[in-house]
């Protein structure tokens, strides 16, 4: 191929228009591509086959790839994860779904005692290439057990990786990246963002390095809001409102909740010198505590205020009619920002 042809081809790739996809469609597309390129990949879970998933995320995949590769399971999450572990030991690449975050509890034993440590236990001879999709967090008015925030639980377990996309573009690329990893990855899909459409560049982020760590969703200079999943879009709204008051907030989308991007946190907060971490999960021993500790360690000399945490409350995740009182709202986040802005030493 001549040099001119090469560059012409590259131009065409770059000029591919962005596809407008919802997160649910972006994940569906990524799953289809994974099944297409990875013969060992299998998708299974409750209603993922015939029905196409309760959120239509696996819609059409069983028709495309057959019921041997995309199949329904009994309503038994420990069985879904047990199956995944056995298949991974046999060399398959399971991509199971736990239908709702709150249904993951019956599978926690399998996840912690087998999935997370099989590679360690076998001295690397039995890696667990399992990509576990979990529709996560609240915001859709669901009943009990259908909205939970389990990231602290999973992130605490050695051997697991945990990631949560904030938009369709990330969902598409992070899922493909997670599926390419040799380790078990918990992929937490923010249910509240399933239906929001945004441009997806299918060719972007081919560089693996750009899929690791955190990203700056909005640059600013007076304080950094740290969030993941559905809270990223809420923090972007808060940053927009804060700008009306002359306060420029940076929004750092953590993306990977295990491992946490310590360098990315330090880089942002050493510039803004104030940090507010926002999450839906309960306050005590929430992931915000870990983020606060990391920031305090890396930015102790530059911080102008203690790291603020704006979180869910220390109560069971409430059902739909009360979730607006529980999930951090715009005013609670703004209060957190005000506290770091007005803090004075001594």
Partner 1 sequence: MAEVSFPLPDLGEGLLEATVLEWLVKVGDQVERNQPFVEVETTKSSVELPSPISGTVLTLHGEPGDVVLVDTPLITFTVADDSAGIVGTVPAEVAPKRRVRLSAVLDED
Give the residue with the Cβ less far from partner 1, 49 or 281: 49
Other CB atoms closer than 10 Å to residue 325's CB: what's the count?
10
Specify the pairing of strand 215-218 against strand 197-200.
Answer: unpaired
The full DSSP string for 57-87 is TTTTHHHHH-TTTEEE--S-HHHHHHHHHHH
Site string for partner 1, 7-46 (x = CB under 8 A): ---------------x------------------------
Give the residue with the Cβ less far from partner 1, 66 or 143: 143
Give the residue with the Cβ less far from partner 1, 214 or 233: 233
Cα–Cα distance measured from residue 189 to residue 167, given in angstroms and rounded to the nearest whole number: 10
Choose, by CB under 8 A, the member of 146, 161, 173, 258 that binds partner 1.
146
Choose, by CB under 8 A, the member of 27, 84, 192, 299 that binds partner 1.
192
Q: Rule CB under 8 A: which of 245-304 touch partner 1?
A: 245-247
- Per-position b or e across 110-126, b if 16+ CB within 10 A of its CB: bbbebbbbbbeeeeeee
330 lies in the binding site for partner 1 (CB under 8 A): yes
Question: What is the total residue count of the chain?
Answer: 346
- For the bound state, the minimum distance from the C-beta of residue 27 to partner 1, rounded and expressed in Å, comes to 13
- For the bound state, the minimum distance from the C-beta of residue 150 to partner 1, rounded and expressed in Å, comes to 17
Identified catalytic residue from 93, 145, 146, 177? 146
Question: Is-contact 94 87, C-beta < 8 A?
Answer: yes
Q: Looking at the chain, which runs of residues are DSSP E strands?
A: 19-22, 41-45, 70-72, 93-97, 131-136, 161-163, 185-190, 197-200, 215-218, 223-227, 249-253, 256-258, 275-279, 308-311
Query: Among this protein's residues, is 146 annotated catalytic?
Result: yes
103 lies in the binding site for partner 1 (CB under 8 A): no
Active site residues: 146
Question: Interface residues with partner 1 (CB under 8 A)?
Answer: 22, 47, 50-56, 59, 100, 139-143, 146-147, 191-192, 195-196, 222, 237-238, 240-242, 245-247, 320, 330-331, 334-335, 337-338, 341-342
């Amino acid at each position: 191929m001549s040099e001119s042809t090469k560059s012409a081809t590259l131009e065409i790739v770059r000029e591919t228009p962005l596809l407008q996809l919802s997160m649910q469609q972006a994940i569906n597309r990524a799953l289809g591509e994974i099944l297409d390129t990875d013969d060992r990949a299998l998708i299974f879970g409750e209603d993922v086959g015939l029905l196409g998933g309760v959120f239509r995320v696996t819609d059409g995949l069983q028709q495309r790839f057959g019921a041997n590769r995309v199949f329904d399971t009994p309503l038994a999450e420990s069985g879904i994860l047990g199956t995944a572990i056995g298949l991974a030991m046999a060399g398959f690449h399971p991509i199971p779904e736990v239908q709702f975050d709150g249904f993951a509890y019956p599978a926690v034993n399998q996840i912690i005692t087998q999935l997370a440590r099989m590679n360690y236990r076998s001295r690397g001879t039995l890696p667990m290439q399992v990509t576990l999709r979990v529709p996560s967090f609240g915001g859709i008015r669901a009943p009990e057990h259908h909205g939970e925030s389990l990231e602290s639980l999973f992130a605490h377990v050695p051997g697991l990786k945990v990631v949560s996309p904030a938009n369709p573009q990330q969902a598409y690329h992070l899922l493909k990246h997670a599926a390419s990893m040799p380790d078990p990855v918990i992929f937490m899909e923010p249910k509240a963002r399933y239906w929001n459409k945004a441009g997806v560049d299918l060719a972007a982020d081919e560089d693996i390095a750009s899929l690791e760590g955190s990203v700056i969703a909005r640059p600013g200079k007076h304080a950094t809001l740290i969030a993941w999943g559905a809270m990223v879009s809420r923090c972007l709204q808060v940053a927009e409102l804060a700008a009306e008051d002359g306060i420029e907030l940076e929004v750092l989308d953590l993306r990977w909740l295990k491992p946490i991007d310590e360098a990315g946190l330090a880089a942002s907060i050493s510039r803004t010198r104030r940090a507010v971490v926002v999450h839906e999960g309960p306050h005590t021993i929430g992931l915000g505590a870990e983020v606060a500790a990391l920031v305090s360690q890396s930015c102790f000399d530059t911080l102008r205020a203690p790291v603020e945490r704006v979180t869910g409350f220390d109560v069971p995740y409430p059902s739909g009619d009360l979730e607006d009182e529980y999930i951090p709202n715009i005013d609670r986040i703004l209060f957190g920002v005000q506290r770091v802005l007005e803090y004075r030493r001594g």
